[in-house]
Amino acid sequence: MAVPAADVKAAQALPLEAVARRRRFRFLAGGKTVTGVVVIGFFLVIAIIGDWIAPYDPSARSSDLLESPSGRHWFGTTHLGQDIFSQVVVGTRSVMLVGLAAGIVATILAVIVGVTSGYLGGTPGEGLSALSNVFLVIPALPLIIIIGSAVPTGGDILVAVIIGFTSWAWGARVLRAQTLSLRGREYVEAARATGESTWRIIFFEILPNLTAVIASSFVGTVIFAVMSEITLAFVGVSGLSNWNWGTILFWAQSQQALAQGAWWWFAPAGLAIAILGTALSLLNFGIDEFVSPRLRGGGKARVKGADGRTHRMRVGFTPVLGREEQP
């Protein structure tokens, strides 16, 4: 019995679709990326359920003054008897909220300005490029300090919005350069020749090829936003009534915890900052390796010479002939 041609085509399409899906999420298979995703997921869970699992009110005082870590207080206590473990757990929400919100705002602006200016070109593109150049030189932290001091009740959302509106320019420049290289490709020219609208070409032809670059820009902005929020809290700019890791370090520094030997007051918050920053960096490295074949291949590629043997070629250099690539 003959198999219908439609069924044959459908059967042949399934493996191709599976391969496309695997390639799309290939960067998640790396050890760096998996580690970063797991650690970031852990902090996200803590940010969501932190208020529920914290054993004490982070602002509640007790008679256990400057106690070292114990069964009652896992991370010790402050000079007022406040539980540091509860402060770290509850403060995770503020850090993650500011980081993710600022990353989303900055990424949306970077995509809109960068991709639009790169594809349109001409006077509109140059105008948007000039706008990104202006925001590129605006000092973000001083501006945040001024606005945060003027509006002390703004909270985390205000800080996130300010960071997002002052952090999108670099990502826009990168996306503009990538879009300039894509708008002359054959598939874009074919879509333009068939009468596709500009926005449809941008959304369905260009943006899918910029996914990894956009993700890398988002992660980089999240890292900057997290460090900015902690820095602002450490210098006492943002509202100290909202607990975050920078607030813990602020009080530890103001009460001279190091001079008193209370290492447990600042060590947990500092370790949490280091772990989160490392996880975000690992995720960013994984995305960079996915985008750049040079990084994915360790800066080397294999080519087959005229003699039929495989030779080593360093990307960007002339192949080294006469030396066989070791397996």
> 196-214 pLDDT, tens per residue?
887 888 888 888 888 888 8
For 106-158, how does the pLDDT look when each residue is reduced to its tens digit (9 = 90+)? Answer: 999 999 999 988 888 778 888 888 888 888 888 777 887 787 777 766 678 88
pLDDT at 29 over 80: no
Element (H, E) at 54: none
- Nearest Cα neighbor of 162 from 145, 179, 137 is 145
Q: Is 301 helix (H, G, I), strand (E, B) or coil?
A: strand
- Domain at 25-291: CATH architecture: Orthogonal Bundle (1.10)
Bridge partners (DSSP) listed for residue 314: 300
- Tokens 């002339």 correspond to what residue? 318
**pLDDT tier at 316 (50, 70, 90 boundaries)?**
very low
Question: Measured between alpha carbons, how far is 170 from 114 in angstroms, rounded to an integer?
Answer: 9
Question: Measured between alpha carbons, how far is 79 from 255 in angstroms, rounded to an integer?
Answer: 8
User: What is the rounded average pLDDT of the residues 94-112?
Assistant: 92
Q: Locate the domains of the chain by residue range.
A: 25-291, 297-327
For 31-82, how does the pLDDT look when each residue is reduced to its tens digit (9 = 90+)? Answer: 788 888 999 999 999 999 988 998 988 888 888 888 889 888 899 899 888 9
pLDDT for 302 equals: 52
Share of the chain above pLDDT 90, in %: 18
Please return the burial class of 253, using the count of CB atoms within 10 Å of its CB with bins 0-12, 13-18 and 19+: middle
Mean of pLDDT over the chain: 79
* Phi, psi angles (nearest 5°) of residue 138: -75, 125
**pLDDT tier at 291 (50, 70, 90 boundaries)?**
low
